[in-house]
A and B are shown apart, each in its own frame.
Chain A
Amino acid sequence: MALTLIACFAALQMPPLHALYAIFIQPLASAYGLGEWLLKATPLMLCGLGLSLGFRANVWNIGAEGQLTMGAIAGGGVALYIAPGLGPWGMPAMLLAGMAGGMLWAAIPALLRTRFHTSEILTSLMLVYVAQLLLAWLMVGRWQDPQGFNFPQSRAFDEALILPLLADGQRATVALYGALALAVAAWIFIRHSFAGYTMLVAGMAPAAARYAGFSESRSIWWGMLIGGATAGLAGIAEIAGPIGRLQPSISPGYGFAAIIVAFVGRLHPLGVVLAALLMSLLYLGGEAAQLELGLPAAVTGVFQGLLLFYLLAADHFAGLRLVRRPARAIA
């Protein structure tokens, strides 16, 4: 991958090593930069962990971006209109509402799949756009800040509802601890829980799961709801963090990038944590590339695509070997 990038930069007539430094090293050279790195890694971790559990069971939830958006809407609604009256319970109520919003959005494809055998790949993906349009509609309608000079955004959340920062001088929040705790929980779920085992069997050998009497629809529900809950949590954590209010655009595609994160992390919780850090660096690098090198914004997408491409290629070729076989014809 590095070679491809060097070739790209060379083709663009830039000093390759300087470009690589600007993209991958410089963003992490300051405390603020480190904070940005962890800030962007957090939602990727949350979404990636939830998705990887579903992917292991062959539940293809492609709509984490929409579940993230719904989590932000539900959690944001609570933050704006209910939580201020709940005192110390406001923050937990807001976070739970975020998870519930994501789960609700994930429940729709799960219901369609278990009842009507609809492909969850299509339905979850299409619901992404429904969620984003719903958010946009709220931002210019009911939930718009009356004192906001007609900007499409909500009021700022109460100070008490903003997640505490990890440290001063940067923007990452304690949501990172939540993501790391979730990684541990996911690891326990996979390694030690019977539900995790049944989901794995359902993914690896559906006929064996039927033979053993593991319910397929339960596996689908678990896979979708866990993914929805973590994506919803990522959504509310994002807007209750540095943004501090609802706005039409809350995620630069974290929910989609998390699919790559899950696979690069080999669907293993520790792997997902590391892959989220890598993917976050690619986001930062993409921004740096725009600022420092004047590359177009699409460069982030190119990085992500290259990463997934090389991963899949390596997977494919790791199991194959080129063999020379003497050709034999009709004697």
Chain B
Amino acid sequence: MSGAGIPRLRLAGISRRYGDIQANDGIDLTIMPGQVHALLGENGSGKSTLSRIICGITRPDAGGIEWDGRAVSFANAAAARELGIGMVFQHFALFESLTVAENIQLALPRAAGGGALTQRIEEVSRRYGLPLDPRQQVATLSAGERQRVEIVRCLLGAPRLLVLDEPTSVLSPAAIQSLFETLRQLAGEGVSILFISHKLDEVRALCGHATVLRAGRVTGEADPRTTSSAELLRMMLGEDPATCLLTPREPGAAVFELRGFSLPADDPFGTSLRDIDLRLHAGEILGLAGISGNGQRELVAALSGERRGGSGSLRIVGEECAQLPVAARRALGFALVPEERLGRGAVPAMSLADNTLLTGARHGLAKAGFVDSAATRERARGIIERWGVRGGGPTALAAQLSGGNLQKFIVGREVGLSPRVLVVAQPTWGVDAGAAQQIRQRLLDLRDAGGGVLVISEDLDELFQVSDRIAVINHGRISAAQPAAATSLQGLGELMSAGTFTRG
């Protein structure tokens, strides 16, 4: 089906920049009619940005789009829909209190409501094997059924290109199979499909062509059915990473220890933690690799106490902690740099001095119920000077700082508390190279001073640079941690993208 004919969609040199981050950098992509095309890549590799550009939600800074051989540019999502581009989002935007038909009617620009629509929905759902009752209320539907609503909604617009963003992340294995049947049928009728995923086994089962992204660039094109996993992973994850730079050292006592720890997910898009065994020692950096959405968020909340409970054992410096609140865990010497910097790690509308107080109150900044303003300002100024935080001193609002500078401030604040356990999630996301190196060095300093550090990151190069040992989180389970020097990139990559996880 390739070679001859006019491509349905051709992207040439698409670029898009967000602040300091080049999300898409000169991307070329060609999709033929009736082709099932995979867009492969790690989180943060630019897949979502590219799909938003294709659907007209985001505009590219540079580059051209051709549709059926004709140059086009989309003013908005409606214009893209007009041409026949349909998108099924990873998270559904449905109104719970309305019925299936009402939800679909709302999304169609000028649809006739009532019986005619109900009939068309039934027709489409029968034809493509998507069982759906138009009169049912969305609140009562499972995640798989909700996705069907989204797909039917797209199909009613008679799309010629269907974009699906991580469509299988919320589906059961049986639902995945039936989704694939539907997609194959659509492709047989000439609809092009762009299937965005980071799961190799699924891409291999469905797609005849794959474009691989890494750090905003196309790093390879391949036929996933005939290309080896190792080759695809190399395109996704990059060349051999920097080798481990750490001098091995004797680990100290355990500063936190999870044994047989499980915690059910608290929202439908969350991941349950299952039977986790994980131990972090004093004077050690433990790297946790994994594609985001595999339980990292839940693990951080369970460790910090932002979510309490769970079964099994969770000890911090020897104390059983599963039921203790955040404050009690921090009193034991726990500190956290969360993934969300604004709104969780810092209060956007407060000054850096006031943000120092956020976790510093227990460390001498509040006495007898009153805030020591002078000491707070002094502490903030110290962090700003030591870490070279640019953006206006202790009175500057957190929201005014760039992402990298705010991250330096938050890491500096938490490291400055001399914690016995520091958990850092995505330490260098959106941080420029110099600052990233500085942050990693400070984590190493803390390790050398005897603190235990858990670094959760998707950047494998980074994990190899700073970790003594590395473990992998996948589907809410964590593999046995291996010394970084004895871990191969391929081994990690396969653990990270495995469909079903077996414990090693």
Which residues in A have some Cβ–Cβ distance to B below 8 Å? 192-195, 197, 200-201, 204-205, 207-208, 210-215, 327-331
State which of B68-76, B235-243, B313-321 sits at the interface with chain A. Answer: B68-76
B371 and A194: CB pair below 8 A? yes
Determine how close the nearest CB of chain A comes to the CB of B309; give it in whole angstroms.
15
B279 shortest CB reach to chain A, Å: 24
Query: B79 contacts which of A197, A204, A210, A329 (Cβ < 8 Å)?
Result: A329
Is there contact, CB below 8 Å, between B361 and A194? yes
Which residue of A193, A201, A208 is within 8 Å of B369 (Cβ)? A193
Are B370 and A193 in contact, CB atoms less than 8 angstroms apart? yes
Partner of B343, one of A192, A207, A212, A330: A207
* A185 → B minimal CB distance (Å): 13
* Contact A327/B75 with A213-B325, A215-B325 known, Cβ cut-off 8 Å: yes
Contact A204:B370 (CB < 8 A) given known A197-B354, A213-B327, A215-B325: no
Q: For this complex, into which size category does the number of interface residues on chain B fall?
A: 35 or more
* Residue contact B326 to A212, C-beta cutoff 8 Å: yes
B354 contacts across to A, CB distance below 8 A: 197
Q: Can you name the residue of chain B whose Cβ is closest to the Cβ of A208?
A: B347
Q: Apart from A194-B361, A205-B349, list 7 A-B contacts with CB within 8 A.
A: A201-B350, A207-B344, A208-B358, A210-B306, A211-B338, A211-B344, A215-B327
Prevailing SS type, chain B contact patch: mixed
**What chain B residues lie within 8 Å of A331 (beta carbons)?**
71-73
Given A192-B373, A193-B370, also A204-B345 (CB < 8 A): no
| Chain B residues near A (Cβ < 8 Å) | 71-75, 79, 82-83, 304-306, 325-330, 336, 338, 340, 343-350, 354, 357-359, 361, 366, 369-371, 373
Minimum Cβ distance to chain A for residue B82 (Å): 8
Tell whether, in the assembled complex, residue B347 and residue A204 are in contact, meaning their CB atoms are under 8 Å apart.
Answer: yes
Name 25 interchain pairs, CB-CB below 8 A, sorted by A: A194-B370, A194-B371, A197-B371, A201-B350, A205-B347, A205-B348, A207-B340, A208-B344, A210-B344, A211-B304, A211-B338, A211-B358, A213-B326, A213-B328, A213-B330, A214-B327, A215-B325, A215-B327, A328-B73, A328-B75, A329-B75, A330-B73, A330-B74, A330-B82, A331-B72
- The SS class assigned to the A binding surface is helix
- Whether the Cβ atoms of A193 and B350 lie closer than 8 Å is no
- Report whether A208 and B71 are in contact in the complex, using a CB–CB cutoff of 8 Å: no
Residues of chain B within 8 A (CB-CB) of A327 are 75
Knowing A208-B345, A211-B304, A213-B326, say if A197 contacts B357 (CB, 8 Å).
yes
- Give chain A nearest CB distance to B52 CB in angstroms: 17
Known contacts A193-B371, A195-B369; A212 and B358 CB within 8 A of each other: yes
* A62–B461 alpha-carbon span in the complex (Å): 54
Bound-complex Cα distance A211 to B345 (A): 7
Q: Report the separation of the CA atoms of residues A22 and B336 in the bound assembly, to the nearest whole angstrom.
A: 62
Point out which of B71, B359, B371, B373 has the most chain A C-beta atoms below 10 A from its C-beta. B371
